[in-house]
Amino acid sequence: MGASLRGLLLVGMRGAGKSAAGRVAAIQANWAFVDLDEIALSLCGAATVAGVFAQPDGAARWRAAERDALESATSGAGCPRIVAIGAGAPEHPPTAGAILAARARGWRVVHVQASALACAARIAADPAGRPSITGSGLAEEIAALHARRTPIYESICDLTVDGDLALTEVARSIARAASDS
């Protein structure tokens, strides 16, 4: 990709560290950081993801907001940035298409690959909590989603970083991906 690198798109499971490590990596790389969940919440006019999903058309509204947020974050000129993408976004065909279109315009897709066990532990420790997607227990849900989503992440990524490492190490790997332009 050379000098045309416009930014990094971070994909991976909930709890993999996309947002936490992405924020640190952006500081290390002197790049901007964008969390698509925050933009999508604003577009939905909601305070929480759970609040969006509780609405009758919540899932569809959320996925459309994620796609719109991604298209906004990756369009136009501006400083390079690291964008954390919601875990389920690549499963939504229009959003997956937007990821691939951004990739064609000079964005590098980085899979923050963390084990299901590490993701479940991080989610369980998060005081903000995250809504269940399947209604299953946390460990079962994460294991099922991990098995289903990992091949999707791998099919769209340019490189993979080890999300099981400490936050500082994950951030350093992401920042290296930014500097390898």
Neighbours of 58 (CB within 10 A): 16
Burial class of 91 by CB neighbour count within 10 A (0 to 12, 13 to 18, 19+): middle
Per-state percent for the chain, helix, strand, coil, to nearest 5: 55, 15, 30
Mean pLDDT, the chain, integer? 90
Predicted confidence band at 172 (pLDDT cuts at 50, 70, 90)? very high
pLDDT tens for residues 9-19? 999 999 999 99
Pair 12, 148: CB distance under 8 Å: no
* Measured distance CA(107)–CA(125) in Å, rounded: 32
Neighbours of 1 (CB within 10 A): 12
Pair 39, 113: CB distance under 8 Å: no
* Mean pLDDT, residues 135-160 taken together: 92
Q: Which residue has the tokens 């790049």?
A: 31
* Measured distance CA(119)–CA(12) in Å, rounded: 10
Adjacency order of strands within the sheet including 107-113:
32-35, 81-84, 7-11, 107-113, 159-162
Which pTM was predicted?
Answer: 0.92
Question: What's the per-residue H, E or C state across 106-122?
Answer: CEEEEEEECCHHHHHHH
* Inter-axis angle of helices 58-74 and 36-44, nearest 10: 120
Q: Is the pLDDT of residue 1 over 50?
A: no
CATH number at residue 81: 3.40.50.300
Residue span of the structural domain in which 142 resides = 2-179
The pLDDT score that the predictor gives to residue 130 is 66
* Measured distance CA(86)–CA(1) in Å, rounded: 24
Overall domain count for the chain: 1
Across the strands, what pairs with 81? 7, 32
What are the two backbone dihedrals, phi and then psi, of residue 4, each rounded to the nearest 5 degrees? -85, 5
Q: Which residue has the tokens 């906004």?
A: 72
The pLDDT score that the predictor gives to residue 65 is 94
